[in-house]
Amino acid sequence: MIVTALVPPVHRPADILARARTVLEPLLRDAVLSLPEPMQRMAGYHFGWCDEHGAATHGASGKLLRPALATSAALACDGLSGEAVGAAAAVELIHNFTLLHDDVMDLDAVRHGRPTVWKVWGVPGAVLLGDALHALAVNVLAAVLPPATAIAAIDRLETTVTEMCRGQHEDCHAGAAQATAAGWERMAMGKTGALFGCACALGALSAGANAETVTIFEYFGRNLGVAFQAGDDLLGIWGDPAHSGKPAGDLARRKRSLPIVLALESDTDAGRALKRLFDTTTPLSADEIDSAATLVEQAGGRRGTELLARQRIRAAVAALPDRPGCGDLRALAQLVDHRNT
């Protein structure tokens, strides 16, 4: 397996993401090719490399932010080896394992403008493909990293997956009684912050950083991940499906996302009106969804979510060591900040 060497920090977010894609994709494709059919074709479809019949396409795929965090953290720790690409591939495989399962749990029929895997191959196929990507992530770390580093990296990755499952469970079962701002932050740290933190920690670990440094970079990633989840919650209400690749349906599902939780906690007339609307059991009409979005904004849910995201981003950036190699991580934090506004 050929591992591409990393290049020095470049600072522009678009360049950082492009670099991550360049060094990651060969390893990612190599890993997917090791899957048996039809999972190999299903994975290629999910990543946007082919259609459902296996014909090559150039479909949309993710921005690879998590792999970019891993490679950037390695560079920030003076990593010169392409071993960080293994860490990047592992976190991207785990991320996509969760996306496959999330689409099933949320009944999302579209991702990146195409039918989701479960809509094409059924729920069992999507669940099993997610499980296979999880296994591939472990295999990649074992194959690419030195044995002692691989053991530490796999332990950290699997602990992260457990935390993510806890966060996802809380997200799926966040009813009116459990939904609070504090509860949302705990959920978001598990569902999203844990993998962002793991990406940064694995990048630092692959560069030979000591335990204290690994912890610092994990803290950076965790806070950035919570900010990212806050941005996802904004997109779940006000996002443009043409840009996000999936419908903005949180209000229709009465999902207790952060803007909605903050609105319901606001003790305002708009918040109380939103609660009355959410307490009904009939499906919300298009007009009621529009009205609910207006009420969330009037009750301060949108502004409060943007504020929390910025606070988390500031905490993340403030934790970084004062060294030139951290420039790429600061640039990625800025990218998340701009995404949320």
Q: What pLDDT sits at residue 3?
A: 44
Cα separation values, 305 from 9, 237, 253, 259, 297, Å:
31, 12, 19, 6, 10
Token reading at 324: 């030139």
**How far is it, in rounded angstroms, from Cα 127 to Cα 116?**
12
Over its C-alpha atoms, the chain yields an Rg (Å, rounded) of 20
pLDDT in tens, the chain (341 residues): 334 445 555 678 999 999 899 999 999 999 999 999 999 999 999 999 999 999 999 876 788 999 999 999 999 998 865 678 999 999 999 999 999 999 999 899 999 889 999 999 999 999 999 999 999 999 999 999 999 999 999 999 999 999 999 999 998 886 655 579 999 999 999 999 999 999 999 999 999 999 999 999 999 999 999 999 999 999 999 987 666 555 568 899 888 999 999 999 999 999 999 999 999 889 999 999 999 999 999 999 999 999 999 999 999 999 999 988 899 999 999 999 988 66
pLDDT at 70: 96
Q: How far is CA 54 from CA 41, 57, 134, 297, in A?
A: 6, 9, 22, 44
Q: How far apart are CA 188 and CA 164, in angstroms?
A: 9
Q: Which domains are seen in the chain, by residue range?
A: 13-339 (1.10.600.10)
